[in-house]
Amino acid sequence: MVISRPTLKSFGTCFTTNFWLLCKGNINNKHEVAKMSTRGPSSRKIKRVEEGPNGGAGSDAINQQIEKEICQALSDVNSCQKELDKLNDKASNEKNQVESKYNKLRKPYHDKRAAVIERIPEFWANAIITHPQIWMFLDEDDEEEDCLRFLKNLEVEVCDNVVDGFRIKFIFDKNPFFHNAELIKEFHLGPNVEPKKSTSTLIKWKKNVNLSNKLSQINKARMKRGQEKRTFFSWFSDNTDPEGDAIAEVIKNELWSNPLTFYSAPGMEDYDILWEDEEEMMDEESD
């Protein structure tokens, strides 16, 4: 028997009652048990069951008692769920408070890290270019990479109340591409802690080097080949789908959280070997 999705009350009452009566032998033919209608938006319709020889006035009393017990059980479940919802809301609020507290504690270390990173040429450009999800957005002719090599620092600033939002700040040295010293993409969060709105700094491109126009032409060519692909600067300027901005989440939760994971500079192989040797020595000492 195919059963359409019934309302909770009709299913809980009718199915339990009929099944219980069937088990007790009060229905002779199991095929007489409720037939469901799958047509239209109306709730599940039950065909009245004919009483068997063992039925009688007592059946109504039994049905009413079972229905009463089920209704009480559902009411108890609902009460428990309300208490759980209160605890979930409390946990969410406390989690946000803890996150805000530790964001403030992280700030001095982020500032210290930023000062050290400025001593490493093209650090952020290297980390962005080698990130497995971000590098796919870069322009194929390397002009975007050339522009990103002027990126001096990258910062992610979370609001004091974490549910309010965050912003990603790209800080550039003077460069031949645009006049802006900073490019900022900001996300405003909704009540369910998802980005609902985003805004981006208007890029003031220098004469004859507007990468946005060039990237549009590249995308048109890709579209003709069925290979439309976003680029880094097209991502930065696009605010049509803030909730689906996977790149912003990657920058905030991965690249900003630990950029060393993605940094890979020429000649670093020797440092990797030294690090491995040091780990081996520490393992031997622990043994």
Beta pairing partners, 138: none
Give the three-state DSSP class for 196: strand
Kindly list the domain boundaries of the chain, sorted by start residue.
118-265
Overall average pLDDT of the 8-30 stretch: 43
Other CB atoms within a 10 A radius of the CB of residue 7 amount to 11
Q: Which positions ≥6 away from 166 have C-beta within 8 Å? A: 156, 157, 158, 159, 186, 187, 189, 252
The number of angstroms, rounded, from the C-alpha of 57 to the middle of its chain's C-alpha atoms is: 57
Beta pairing partners, 167: 157, 186
Overall average pLDDT of the 134-155 stretch: 84
Q: pLDDT category, 208, cuts 50, 70, 90?
A: confident
CATH class as words, domain 118-265: alpha beta
**CA-CA distance, 273 to 286, in Å (whole number)?**
20
* pLDDT score at 123: 95
Identify the weakest region by mean pLDDT among 58-72, 112-126, 169-183: 58-72
**CA-CA distance, 169 to 155, in Å (whole number)?**
5
pLDDT tens for 23-53 read 444 444 444 434 443 444 444 444 444 444 4
Identify the weakest region by mean pLDDT among 40-44, 106-110, 212-216: 40-44
**Is pTM, for the whole model, over 0.75?**
no
**CA-CA distance, 131 to 217, in Å (whole number)?**
25
For 144, the token pair is 């975007």
Identify the weakest region by mean pLDDT among 22-31, 80-89, 177-186, 235-244: 22-31
Cβ(31)–Cβ(1) under 8 Å?
Answer: no
* pLDDT score at 252: 93
Cβ(124)–Cβ(154) under 8 Å?
Answer: yes
For 260, the token pair is 């060393």
pLDDT over 80 (residue 205): yes
